[in-house]
Structure 1
Amino acid sequence: MNAEPTRQLRLLDLQAIDTRLDQIVHARAHLPQLAELADLEGKARLIDDQLVRSRTELDDVQREVAKAESDVQLVRDRAARDQARLDAGTGTAKDLQAIQHELTSLARRQSELEDIELEVMERAEAAESDVGELERGRGELTARISALETDRDKALATLDEEAARVGLPRPEVVAEVGEDLVTLYEKIRASSGGTGAAALRQRRCGGCQLELNSTDIQRIRNAPEDEVLRCEECRRILVRTPESGL
């Protein structure tokens, strides 16, 4: 077999290399881990937003708790001082009666403030529970994301290794095919979904998968060995093989 048919057959080897490299690029872009990671990262952003709101709410309620505790303590301190004065019995009967009335008012005020304190503390407890639940959920999500990232990186590394192995002989094949034929092949490949050359097997184009009619078969049969043939349907380079059925 002379050089021209040989380099056309090598063009099929180049097509096989490029097809697999394209498949690897597609596989990299469509790893199942990528879609799941995007979903989990979206959920993580939602949880983070909820955490900001919940922590802000907790801070606000904790300030309310501190104020309520301070208000109750102020009343307790005032009542303790009044009780000490009353127990000491110092002052006029009118003064002691006024202290007794104030103690009654303070007891009533303390009860009201303690009710407020209890309600605020209950809200603080609920807010703490919400924050804790969100933090636990975020932690679980972080672990899942980390595991998926590890799986993704392993899958990408495997594909990269295969791409390096598959692409290693490409420069040599390109040199054997020749610049002129490679240029045509690349131009067709860019406009034909990645397939620039196809084998003719059993009278069928390997690119568009259509069977050639008798006129095209006769034309190909009579064509010189060094002629670069094109499929009349898909316009890809059509490479004759021993299985062409000519």
Structure 2
Amino acid sequence: MKAAPEEQKRLLDLAELDAKLDRLAHRRRTLPELAEVDELSKRLARLATEIIEAETEAGDLARDQAKAESDVEAVRMRIDRDQRRLDSGQVTSPKDLSSLQSEIASLQRRQSDLEEVVLEIMERREAAENRAATLKSEREKVTAALRSAEERRDAAFAEIDGEAEALRARRDPIVAGIGAELLALYDKLREQTGVGAAMLKAGRCLGCQTALSIADLNAIRAAAPDEVVRCEECRRILIRTPESGL
């Protein structure tokens, strides 16, 4: 491939800008705020699930408590009814009196058992409601932390994107001064290796840091100035300058 020496030297400026753009892109992909936002978002999702579970449990226990309290009230009403019968003197048969008293005692034991159930349910409900409240408080803190991380991420994005835009503005006129064929080769090599062109300095390719052999250096010396030469080791375009040691 042939290209004017001035075009080839432009590749060094282009490679320098592209390296800076690559570093900016890497920085954008690896911002610590990205991992922070991801972790906080996952934490919020887990909290949402935990809150639903706690609220569902509290709701179920509220219904259980209402049923248990209704059962207590029903037993209490039966006790009151039987006690009124007992106190009224309407029951005179010793057998019926004994049966009624026995029933009242049994109902009182039943009431005591049911009241214990109500207390247990109330304690479990209170624990579930407290857990839900604690989780909601934590959700508020995590939401605030997420908002802060997103703001810092967006600020970093804006800074990086601004720098990248400025570099691309400098890149465009450089690209305009490079022939299509040479630019296509550069882009292909850059895609393959990350760096499309490198300076030949003191007999060494600065792309792969390999010292060229005498034979390779002699071949480059013999090449015409407009000949596009490549590193035999990494295949990048080698740019000759007064510092090449030829």
TM-score by length of 1: 0.87
Deviation at 1:173, TM superposition (A): 0.9
Residue number in structure 2 paired with 1:198: 198
Deviation at 1:42, TM superposition (A): 2.8
Give, in whole Å, the separation in 2 of the partners of 1:25 and 1:134. Answer: 38
Residue number in structure 2 paired with 1:150: 151
Residue number in structure 1 paired with 2:77: 77
Residue number in structure 2 paired with 1:51: 51
Deviation at 1:57, TM superposition (A): 1.9
Q: Is 1:105 equivalent to 2:135 in the alignment?
A: no
Question: Over residues 15-68 of structure 1, what are the superposed CA-to-partner deviations in whole Å (9 max), with x where a residue is unaligned?
Answer: 112122122222221111122222333333333333332222222111111111
Secondary structure at 1:106's aligned position in 2? helix
Give, in whole Å, the separation in 1 of the partners of 2:129 and 2:188. Answer: 64
Residue number in structure 1 paired with 2:90: 91
Alignment of 1:128-143 (within 5 A): 128-143=129-144
Residue number in structure 2 paired with 1:68: 68
Residue number in structure 2 paired with 1:208: 208
Give, in whole Å, the separation in 1 of the partners of 2:185 and 2:159. Answer: 32
Question: Over residues 68-95 of structure 1, what are the superposed CA-to-partner deviations in whole Å (9 max), with x where a residue is unaligned?
Answer: 11111222233344445555x3635349
Alignment of 1:110-125 (within 5 A): 110-125=111-126
Q: Which moved more, 1:112-121 or 1:43-52?
A: 43-52
Give, in whole Å, the separation in 1 of the partners of 2:201 and 2:93. Answer: 121
Give, in whole Å, the separation in 2 of the partners of 1:92 and 1:129. Answer: 51
Deviation at 1:232, TM superposition (A): 1.5
| Number of aligned residues | 242
Give, in whole Å, the separation in 2 of the partners of 1:198 and 1:100. Answer: 106
Amino acid corresponding to residue 26 of structure 1 in structure 2: H
Secondary structure at 1:198's aligned position in 2? strand
Deviation at 1:221, TM superposition (A): 2.5
Give, in whole Å, the separation in 1 of the partners of 2:107 and 2:208. Answer: 95
Residue number in structure 2 paired with 1:189: 190
Deviation at 1:206, TM superposition (A): 1.3
Is the CA contact (8 Å cut-off) linking 2:28 and 2:157 kept in structure 1? yes
Deviation at 1:166, TM superposition (A): 0.6
Give, in whole Å, the separation in 1 of the partners of 2:81 and 2:91. Answer: 17
Structure 2: which 5+ runs fail to align? none
Q: Percent identity?
A: 47
Secondary structure at 2:198's aligned position in 1? strand
Residue number in structure 2 paired with 1:32: 32
Deviation at 1:138, TM superposition (A): 2.5
Deviation at 1:197, TM superposition (A): 0.6
Question: Over residues 117-150 of structure 1, what are the superposed CA-to-partner deviations in whole Å (9 max), with x where a residue is unaligned?
Answer: 1111111122222222322233322222221111
Q: Which moved more, 1:123-132 or 1:112-121?
A: 123-132
